[in-house]
Structure 1
C-alpha cells in the first residue's frame, strides 16, 4: 500500500464496520423507544418544555448556581421538563429553580446524605459484581448485584444496604455478571501475547498537541499499546494515555500518521452517519443511543450518574477493579463493544462503553465513561484531527444533507444534526442507534462477527487475554 493511501485507510477505523449488519432502527427526531414515562410526582410550578439536551444544560447551570441546595435532577420525558430535587423547602432555591424553567420537587435526602451512603457502601461492600449510583427519580442510592454475588457476599451487601435505612437505598439483582468487553464493536485490533484483543473506537478527537487521535475504553489501552484497523494489519495508532481502573475508564490513542483524516461522526449503520457536534453531559431520564456491531443500534435511558462499578479483577482471582464516575444506563450491550460510543440523537458525544451485565435479549445495565471528563483528563478536544477539528465552541448547525466529509472536524459546536436524515432507513434490529463508529462509509471488511456488541460490560479488562478476542475462545481476556 502506498504512503499516499495510508491516511484514507487509517480513517477507516473511524468508519463503521456495520455493512454486514444490514439493519438498525430508525433514528427519529422524537425517538422515545425503551423510555419510561417518568412522572415528576409532587413537582410544582410551571416549567418550560425542554429538549433533553437543553434540560442537561439547564441542570448544569442550576448546579453551579445552587450547589448542594439541589438534591439532584432528572429529565421527565413525558412532560419534557427538567425536574430538580430540593430538600427542606428552601424558598430562595425553589424560586430560582422555577424562574430558570425547572419543575421543583421536595425530597427527603440531600446530595450529601446520599454521597455518605455511597461512601459507606465503598467502605463496607466493595465486592466484585456490585455497582451503585444515585437515582434522583427515587431520591435513593440504587445498589445492583450481579449473579456472582451469593452467599456471604450477598449477606454482607444486603446488611450494608439495610444499615443505610430503607429511605436511603434500594438493592436489586441483575442477570449475568459485570464485565468489560474485549472483542467486537467497531473493531480495532491489537496483537498481544496469547491472541488478539478487540475493542471499539469511541470518538475521533484532536490531542492537545494538535495530532489526530481517538478515545476508547481505558481497559483497552491498558491491555495493549498498538492498534490496527484489521485483525492482521500493521498498527496505525498508539496509546498515549490510559486510565483503568480508578476514576474512569478511558484511553487516548493517537494515529501514527499525522495526516490522518478522522471525521467527527458516528456511523448509524447502512452507510448513514450522525454528525457529532459537541460533548454532552448525561442527564438521568434522557434517551441515549449506542452502536454495536454485533447487536446494531440500541437506545435506552440514562438511569444514574457518578456510578461506581466493582469488576472482578481479570489478573487477581481475589481482587476487584473498582471504577468510579461512570454513567449508568439500561441500554443493552454485549461482549465486544468496549470503548464504543454513546451519543444523543442531536449529535452529542456522551460516553464510551465500559462494561455491564445482561445482553440484548434479556436487557441489563451498561456503564459508560463520560466523554466530558475523558476530554478534560486527556486535554483532547472533540473533532477529527487533520480535518479542521477543534474549532472551538461554535454555534453552527450541521447540515445532514451534506456528506460526511463535508461536516467532519467541526470541533465543540453547539449545532444540531437532524438524526432522521443522518440515521437513514434502517430496518429491523431493534431500538438501535448509531455509535461506535465515526466515519462516512461503512467498512465492509469488518464483519459482524468481528464485533460483538456490549453485553456484560463494566470496566475491567478488555485486555490481553486469549478469549473472545481472536474469535476462538470464550474468555473476555485479561487486561490490567
Structure 2
C-alpha cells in the first residue's frame, strides 16, 4: 500500500467512526418529547379532559402553570408520562391517583365531619389539604388528628387558619363598604351614592349607579345612550343590576352573581344560603326597588339559588361590576382549574383577585351546614359578598359561598361552581341585550325615565332625601367631584371616569330634588370609587 492509499483508508476510517458517534445523537434528538404547549385556560381545560379520558383510572389530577401557560398532568407511570408529553402537556409522575384521593376525602367525611374544617384536593402537592379554623381545638382537633394520621403523610396535609369558617351573607344593609344599596339608595349623603360594587344604582335600573347623588352619577349609570351603549361589551357603565351588585332580602344583604336566562325569562344566580334567607329580593334595604323572587334554592350540600326577575321584560346585562366605573362582559361559563387566575366582585369589598388553589372542596360551616364540590381560592371576601361573581376574563366561574379571614388579613374563600348551578337550574349565561334594552342606557328606565338616576327612586329623590342627601349636599355640590367617605367606599372618586355630554340637559348641581325627565346630568360627579385593597393573601 502506498502512502496515498493509506491516507485515504485512514480518512475513511475516521469518517465512519465519526458517523458512529453522530448517528446515535441524531436519533436521540428525534426521540426528545415535543416542547409543552402554551395554552389559554380554556384550551388547557379541553386538553386536560381529553388526557383524563385517555388515562382513565390512572389519572391523578392536573393544574395550570399560569406563569408559562402550561398544563401539568399528574400521571402514575413513566409510560403515561411519555404519552401525555407527546400531546403537549407537562407530565408529572406522582404517588396518589385521583381515585385514591377521592377515597381519602370520603374517609374525612365519614370520620372527621367537624365544624370549622374544610378540605380539598390539591393536584400541585398530589394530596388532600385539610384546613382547621381557630374553633377546632381539644376533642375536635384530636378526632381530626386521629383520622388524618391513619391516612398517612403521603395522602393528607393539615393546616390551621387563624380565621373562622362562615358564610358571607351580611346582616346589616348599611355595612356595604363597596357601595351597598343601603348607602346608594337610602344614604346617599355619606358616600355620594353607589360606589365600587354597584349598590342600588347597579342593582336597580334607576338608582344612582357609581355616582349616586352626585349629579354626574346618574348620567353615567343610565345617561346618554351614545356613551353608555357599550356597557354590554365591557368597559362601559352598567345600566342595571350586574354581577357584584348588592341585593337585599329581609334582614340579609348578599350580592348578585350572574345574570342568566331560563327559557328566555330573565333571572340571576346567587348563593343558596342567600336564597334560603329570603324569598324576595330588592335593590334597596327599604324594599322600594323590587328585583325578583327565588325560584330555586339549594343549601346545604350545594350553594346556589336562582332568582327570577319580577319584570319579565327586563333585559339586565350579562356583565360584572369591576368597581372602577366599568364592567366586564360575561359570555360563557368555565370550569375552574387549580392555578387559574380569577377575580371576585361583591357588594362589600368590591373587586379582588387571586388564584384557584383546590377543587372538590368540602366546607363545614357548623350547625349541619356542610357544602361539597366547592372551588377553593386565596381570594378574600367578607360578609355581604355572598353570591357575588367569581370570573376569569369573560367566563363565569363561581358564586361566593364563604370562608375564613377578610380582605385585611386574607384567608380562604370557597365558591359554588357556576357550571353546576347552570346545569341544575337549566339556566344559560346572559339575560338580555345590554345597554339600549328596556333597562339599558337609553331604555325606558334610563336617566330620563321615571326610575332614572334623577327620578323618584334615584339618588336625588325618594329615600335619599331631596335636600341634604340629594343632589344638593351629596351631589356635585359637595361630593360630586370630591372624595368619598373612605369607610364607605374605599377611597376617593375619580371625577373624570365616564363623563357624559352635558349638552343633553345638564342639571343645576346645587338644587335639592332632581328633575326626573331632563335626561343627562352634570358630569361633575364622575367616576366610581376605588374598590379598595387588592386580593388578600392566603393564611396558608
Determine which structure has more spread, i.e. the larger CA radius of gyration: 2
Aligned to 2:481: none
| Displacement of 1:66 | 3.0
Q: CA offsets per residue over residues 177-224 of structure 1, 9 Å max, x none?
A: 111111256210112xxxx211100000001x3210000000011111
Higher strand proportion = 1
| Displacement of 1:47 | 0.8
| Residues 127 and 153 in structure 1, CA contact (< 8 A), matched pair in contact too | yes
Q: Which SS does the other structure have where 2:357 is aligned?
A: strand
Q: How does 1:153-168 map to 2 (within 5 A)?
A: 153-168=140-155
Higher helix proportion = 2
Match for residue 381 of structure 2 among 290, 309, 333: 333
Length-normalised TM-score, structure 2: 0.60
Q: How does 1:304-453 map to 2 (within 5 A)?
A: 304-313=358-367, 320-344=368-392, 346-385=393-432
| Residues 62 and 97 in structure 1, CA contact (< 8 A), matched pair in contact too | yes
Q: CA offsets per residue over residues 321-374 of structure 1, 9 Å max, x none?
A: 110010000011111100000001x21100000000011111110000001111
CA–CA distance in structure 2, aligned partners of residues 249 and 277 of structure 1? 22
CA–CA distance in structure 2, aligned partners of residues 404 and 138 of structure 1? 49
| Displacement of 1:454 | 11
CA–CA distance in structure 1, aligned partners of residues 113 and 365 of structure 2? 10
Gapped regions of structure 2 (runs ≥ 5) = 1-32, 171-175, 177-243, 444-485, 491-497, 500-524
Q: How does 1:32-431 map to 2 (within 5 A)?
A: 46-89=35-78, 91=79, 93-183=80-170, 184=176, 186-191=245-250, 196-207=251-262, 209-234=263-288, 235-246=290-301, 248-313=302-367, 320-344=368-392, 346-385=393-432
Aligned to 2:208: none
CA–CA distance in structure 1, aligned partners of residues 140 and 324 of structure 2? 46
CA–CA distance in structure 2, aligned partners of residues 241 and 96 of structure 1? 44
User: Hey, which bits of structure 1, 4+ residues long, moved more than 6 A?
Assistant: 403-406
Q: Which SS does the other structure have where 1:351 is aligned?
A: strand
Aligned to 2:6: none
CA–CA distance in structure 1, aligned partners of residues 314 and 255 of structure 2? 18
RMSD between superposed Cα atoms in Å = 2.9
| Residues 74 and 285 in structure 1, CA contact (< 8 A), matched pair in contact too | yes
Q: Which SS does the other structure have where 2:62 is aligned?
A: strand
CA–CA distance in structure 2, aligned partners of residues 283 and 149 of structure 1? 29
Aligned in 2, Cα 1:176/1:404: closer, same or farther, shift over 3 Å?
farther
Aligned in 2, Cα 1:170/1:371: closer, same or farther, shift over 3 Å?
same
Length-normalised TM-score, structure 1: 0.68
- Count of residues paired in the alignment: 347
| Displacement of 1:262 | 1.2
CA–CA distance in structure 1, aligned partners of residues 101 and 158 of structure 2? 14
Gapped regions of structure 1 (runs ≥ 5) = 1-43, 314-319, 389-402, 407-427, 433-439, 456-480
CA–CA distance in structure 1, aligned partners of residues 441 and 117 of structure 2? 41
Using the TM superposition, name which of 288-297 and 267-276 deviates more: 288-297
CA–CA distance in structure 2, aligned partners of residues 324 and 199 of structure 1? 21
- Larger RCO, structures 1/2 (Cα 8 Å, 6+ apart): 1
Q: How does 1:10-49 map to 2 (within 5 A)?
A: 46-49=35-38
Q: Which SS does the other structure have where 1:219 is aligned?
A: helix
Q: Which SS does the other structure have where 1:119 is aligned?
A: helix
